[in-house]
Structure 1
């Protein structure tokens, strides 16, 4: 209705189902004062509208006359005649004739401004090619919408003078040239910046780092090239980021890992290459990830967003492998020719300060583990695992571990750096493996060490379980040769700086279908309390045995009780202890350090429901009968569901 306008503030009427034209007065949403624009021949109270080029309705943005833009009035019969007039030039009337009682224009004013009429004499397309530099004089703009207007030319750098601008939408035009650096120096640009579907070229300016509060950025469907600037990582408030359908190349910068608030990331249809960055599956709020039609290679992750095939796409990356079966990607091939650069005994001796007891982290039946600095230039610690070659089984343990590491690569497995096969100063054989250092130690330390004053909360514990389950799923189902870990327990699960769990110690590992799966009746199989009961009566190590160990690990993480705790006597075990608490007495068996009940009754109920669901998993995985144990891949979706609840409490 005509009575609706003119409004005092911007009104959006987008993608509606209107069947009649919007009244002209509705389009008059702001007034430009004389001193903001500069000297004009007449007062700057002329009404200016822009029409949707497709539907002939008011476009999202309309403004009063400014320098070098057209004054456009469109009235029906009975009002002023239709005309287009260019500002700061002599007024030029358009010829008119009467058609069915409606005044109709039959020509355009000049080559810069084109308009056409439909059969009823209504103006239905206005094409304004350049965005004038004078637009920068409108310093009080807060929102500017010029999308879908077939604008040509460059984006004026004078937009950098619009110091109050929070929203800028220039998408679906024919703009070309570079993105002006001045535009990216606006700290006010916090809500929305869309430049998609134009012909912009060049690279993303490093000045993008100044938009630290921007929440939405769309640069899709342009001709932007070069590498993706690492400066994007400083736009830490981004929740949606799109730069699909450009010509970007190279690897994804690691600085994007700082965009932890991202819900949507679309980098599809570029020439990006390299491995899929590991930080992508750490983002907690990501709802959709599109990596399709690039040149990524290597293994597709199976955690975080990659655990749900409906919320990410990797189509068109023909060198990818692995991932969940639903992706229908080939299995990753082992690289049998890869060899690690070996180090000498003397280098390891120096790195660990002579294998000093102050650097000793852990001791086991076959080895000792030290921390040390292998490269004095970077001061980064490594883990050095020294084998007790004089102990029975140590040599075979070393062989098993080397063979296992030759076949596996996964973010939740401890990363091997190098190895050492040498002799010491007494001419004794010396063997060692060097691993990536894990600064947060082992899960065992967090649960049971008196020296560790910090404790794991429930969310951290479930995250650790999810990491371990993902690693086991990889070993059992994603490797070219199925691998049984054989000794899953808290001391073999190490935590990095981000508290991500890494499964280590493959000294008892078995590769099914190879000579390394041939056990003797005298060999150690697992650790007491964590090894399944069938290992005591037969030789074969199985994936089902790892599942049992995972169930015991889960119950230890939630109850805080070791399976060898003194309380487990007269037939009571970790499994039975947890089982009898279901479903109404779970809080009675949970480790006090695991949870801090929320202040509201609703949150307390949600926490308890998560605990019940978690304990049920542990009980079902730690049953004595192997056929009754579920496969490890099933637990991942269950744990992810629990994590989703905990993260929103």
Structure 2
């Protein structure tokens, strides 16, 4: 009996411990929910008394005692503060509150969670001190406080966390010396203290952290000689010390002391001496950066032994001796078959550029040899480096012609060759570099004309050919450079009239055409409202100075001196500040601005009524005749228009659009070309049909054939809408409609098909969501940040063309990733105009407005909100869809993701994260694609997502125009490259 009572009492005690007290967990969770911002509570809507505690979303319980052991709220964008009641979840083992928007302080009560092993509150807005009470969580293995606003020092009490393996305290406002207690955390594997305000020297006893694999002290104020204690951390794989004040020499046997290093970043310190040759003994080394230090000596060819080397960054030192042999390491690096980036700019390297560079890794994306005394010529076979995106050889002594094989580098974004002695012509093959952003070949000895092919590079942002001996005229095709920001052609021998098409370069900010032989008048460039600097001095230009210069609100420099201008100089705008304007050397100018030292203008001509009567009579007759002719033209046009409209009403079938195509194909032709419309040739499907890959035997050409499902209501209208939309429009970012087929099949059924140019890289959709694609069709890699940005610019450019520059505005009405196709170079082509609408300004009842099915407004998630309320198709609707597309491209989340519902949308999800939390929502595949996250990447992502948000504003009138969206994205791309170039220096 006594044993029974004892067992019963023990059972009651266990129930008390494990059964009844789950109510305290329930109340703690409800209290946590109550402290979350009201607008952010939707994610916790299941936390109520209607469900058992252990079935609540984001909550896990132990199997036996049914107490909360895991609370996973990371990445839910929760706001508010962290409730002190968190400390009542006494059985908690795993707590993740990271990637949210919590403010306030970390509750001291967290120290009550003595069973806790995993604690993550990184990427929030927490402030105040780190609670010393966390030292009570003695079982902690993982502590992440990364990227908050935590201040002051690190409490020494944390030194009692002897089991801690991971400690992330980076990106805060921590101050003071290196936390000496860390030496007691002898189990530490990862320590990140980067991006704080810590200072002083590193204590020797850090050597006690003998298990350390990754150590990050980046961007603090640590000083002193390179810490000898680091040499004892032989297990280190990643050591990041960039942006501090470390000095002294590196030990010659560095590579033998740290034999397991994968990434070693020492950039931006005050290190001196030679680069240890023993680094070549570290077979695991993938990245070595020691740029912006004071290193001397030679660059060892031994780096060529590092088969795993990806990045070698030695810029801004004093390496080399300006002599033969300095570049021997380049020969050796041809053995590094996975080398992606090499930067040795602004050192003391001399000698001839070896031809062996053409044998370097085809994975090489950056080759930067700027700012040395390298001579010789660029090898002709430089085009072998097919992966090259940046070739930077400026500020050297290079000579010879520019190789035509540069045109093989189709992915080249930067070609920086200024300040050398290159000779010969500018190769027209450069026009094949269709992704070029920055072409700088100024300050050389180039001659000949400017190839018109260069004016056909649609992505070009900077064009610098100044200070050469170029002749001929400025090509009319200059107007095709819609993204051009800087045009620098000064100090050449160019002549002729400036082309009127210059006024079409709407992104232009800098125009330097000085010291040439241009004549004629200044073309109409009044549309260039963003222009900042204009220099047309020392030419033979004539005519008057146009008053539209007064309206350029951003103009900060205008030089028109030493020309043949005449007439009155404007007085408003920039002309009110004579220090910003130069017009001297124009003898026939006059004006009233004293600082410009102009002669006064003569009196105005007499009013019309005082002039000779015969002249007045001639003017009156001319005006009368002109009005009569205009009236007659209006009557004829109106009659034609009414007749056309009546004909359309009588014949309700589709207008004959097929005769516009140069080639006719039959049903049999297409059946043979698709192997009987075999399922193995299907490359896509949509609402009204299926797309097949087809081989046209007559031309041995691969095309895409969209076969309409004529049983589907609206298919014929979709067919005609696509024909009408694409028959008269041409743009590099539109899918090209080659021809169409209107026939009957072998069973006598109506057959309709559209034949397009084939896009080998398929749709953008499969690149953004490869996990949803069959493995055989899955892309071999992910899209990089720059590739996505280029695609977004492509789409914005074509929308601007459809909305503004067509004969009549066209609304696509169904913009989404599956309707954006990618060619060999990943250039985007917008497709599927089955729902498109011509937005005729004067005939709202025209035939074409009836083509698409009534009520169809695009795809859920991408369609503008006004469409759901019966709104008519408009260019504003396309802008909304484009905004959603941009957000999807850079967050990796569809607008229909299960995470979203009610008022919580992809739009609000993104808006809540900007600007500080951009890394939380960015598509992780971007950040894992070899891109090193830093300031330019963060700013780039912030800017892009901001453009996306402004495009998908709720109100149509508040949305960006596509032209503005394109300009801003191009500007973001420009700043990204500029910041990255600056960082490389």
TM range (shorter): 0.5 to 0.7
**Cα 1:296/1:357, change in 2 over 3 Å:** farther
- Per-residue CA deviations over 1:571-601 (Å, capped at 9, x if unaligned) read 211111111112222222222112249897x
Question: What is the Cα deviation at residue 310 of structure 1?
Answer: 4.0
Equivalent position of 1:554 in the other structure: 886
Partner of residue 784 from structure 2, selected from 422, 447, 457: 457
Distance 1:244 1:431 in 2: 56
Partner of residue 489 from structure 1, selected from 800, 816, 819: 816
Equivalent position of 1:341 in the other structure: 663
Equivalent position of 2:717 in the other structure: 396
- Per-residue CA deviations over 1:401-447 (Å, capped at 9, x if unaligned) read 11111221111111222222222212222221111111111111011
- Per-residue CA deviations over 1:206-258 (Å, capped at 9, x if unaligned) read x9958989986799xxxxxxxx9967858998836999999x9xx95578549
SS in 1 for 2:924: coil
Distance 1:500 1:355 in 2: 28
Give matches, 1:259-274, under 5 Å.
262-264=439-441
The answer as to 2:915 corresponding to 1:583 is yes
Distance 1:210 1:345 in 2: 47
Partner of residue 934 from structure 2, selected from 600, 604, 626: 604
Q: Which runs of 5 or more structure 1 residues have no equivalent in the other structure?
A: 1-139, 141-163, 167-188, 194-206, 220-227
Partner of residue 382 from structure 1, selected from 700, 703, 709: 703
The answer as to 2:885 corresponding to 1:564 is no
- Per-residue CA deviations over 1:510-538 (Å, capped at 9, x if unaligned) read 12116323578833111111010111223
Distance 1:465 1:634 in 2: 13
**Cα 1:578/1:292, change in 2 over 3 Å:** farther
SS in 2 for 1:281: coil
Partner of residue 573 from structure 1, selected from 895, 898, 905: 905
The answer as to 2:972 corresponding to 1:637 is no
**Cα 1:614/1:336, change in 2 over 3 Å:** same
Distance 1:571 1:329 in 2: 45
Equivalent position of 1:526 in the other structure: 858
CA contact (8 A) 1:442 1:492 kept: yes
CA contact (8 A) 1:404 1:509 kept: yes
Give matches, 1:416-435, under 5 Å.
416-435=737-756
Equivalent position of 2:485 in the other structure: 308
Question: What is the Cα deviation at residue 609 of structure 1?
Answer: 2.0
CA contact (8 A) 1:495 1:501 kept: yes
CA contact (8 A) 1:544 1:629 kept: yes
- Per-residue CA deviations over 1:265-311 (Å, capped at 9, x if unaligned) read 899985977x7764x235687545999966967794345xx432645
- Per-residue CA deviations over 1:142-198 (Å, capped at 9, x if unaligned) read xxxxxxxxxxxxxxxxxxxxxx999xxxxxxxxxxxxxxxxxxxxxx98589xxxxx
**Cα 1:424/1:229, change in 2 over 3 Å:** farther
Equivalent position of 2:558 in the other structure: none
Distance 1:579 1:393 in 2: 37
Give matches, 1:119-268, under 5 Å.
191=375, 233=407, 239=417, 252=428, 257=433, 262-264=439-441
Distance 2:908 2:693 in 1: 38
Distance 2:740 2:669 in 1: 11
- Per-residue CA deviations over 1:496-520 (Å, capped at 9, x if unaligned) read 1111111111111112116323578
The answer as to 2:735 corresponding to 1:408 is no
Equivalent position of 1:364 in the other structure: 686
SS in 2 for 1:396: helix
CA contact (8 A) 2:430 2:454 kept: no
TM-score of the pair, normalised by structure 1: 0.56
Distance 1:517 1:322 in 2: 34
SS in 1 for 2:927: coil
CA contact (8 A) 1:296 1:320 kept: no
CA contact (8 A) 2:952 2:959 kept: yes
SS in 2 for 1:433: strand
SS in 2 for 1:641: helix
CA contact (8 A) 1:459 1:646 kept: no
Equivalent position of 1:169 in the other structure: none
SS in 1 for 2:458: helix
Distance 1:522 1:641 in 2: 39
SS in 2 for 1:580: helix
Question: What is the Cα deviation at residue 606 of structure 1?
Answer: 2.7
Question: What is the Cα deviation at residue 645 of structure 1?
Answer: 3.9
Distance 1:471 1:532 in 2: 19
Q: Which runs of 5 or more structure 2 residues have no equivalent in the other structure?
A: 1-323, 325-350, 354-372, 384-390, 509-522, 528-656, 981-985
Where relative contact order (Cα < 8 A, 6+ residues apart) is larger, the structure is: 1
SS in 2 for 1:561: coil
- Per-residue CA deviations over 1:75-104 (Å, capped at 9, x if unaligned) read xxxxxxxxxxxxxxxxxxxxxxxxxxxxxx
- Per-residue CA deviations over 1:531-575 (Å, capped at 9, x if unaligned) read 101112235211111110011001111111111111112321111
Question: What is the Cα deviation at residue 454 of structure 1?
Answer: 2.1
**Cα 1:628/1:396, change in 2 over 3 Å:** same
CA contact (8 A) 1:342 1:418 kept: yes
Distance 2:503 2:813 in 1: 23
**Cα 1:242/1:527, change in 2 over 3 Å:** farther
SS in 1 for 2:705: strand
Distance 2:709 2:831 in 1: 18
**Cα 1:633/1:347, change in 2 over 3 Å:** same
Distance 1:338 1:582 in 2: 49
Distance 2:352 2:926 in 1: 47
Distance 1:259 1:614 in 2: 19
The answer as to 2:831 corresponding to 1:504 is yes
Question: What is the Cα deviation at residue 341 of structure 1?
Answer: 1.7
TM-score of the pair, normalised by structure 2: 0.38
CA contact (8 A) 1:231 1:255 kept: no
Distance 1:321 1:366 in 2: 43
Equivalent position of 2:605 in the other structure: none
Distance 1:614 1:399 in 2: 36
Indicate the structure with greater helix content.
2
Equivalent position of 1:438 in the other structure: 759
Distance 1:565 1:341 in 2: 43
**Cα 1:243/1:336, change in 2 over 3 Å:** farther
Distance 2:480 2:474 in 1: 16
**Cα 1:641/1:597, change in 2 over 3 Å:** farther
Question: What is the Cα deviation at residue 385 of structure 1?
Answer: 1.1
Distance 1:374 1:292 in 2: 46
**Cα 1:567/1:234, change in 2 over 3 Å:** closer
- Count of residues paired in the alignment: 431
CA contact (8 A) 1:230 1:256 kept: no
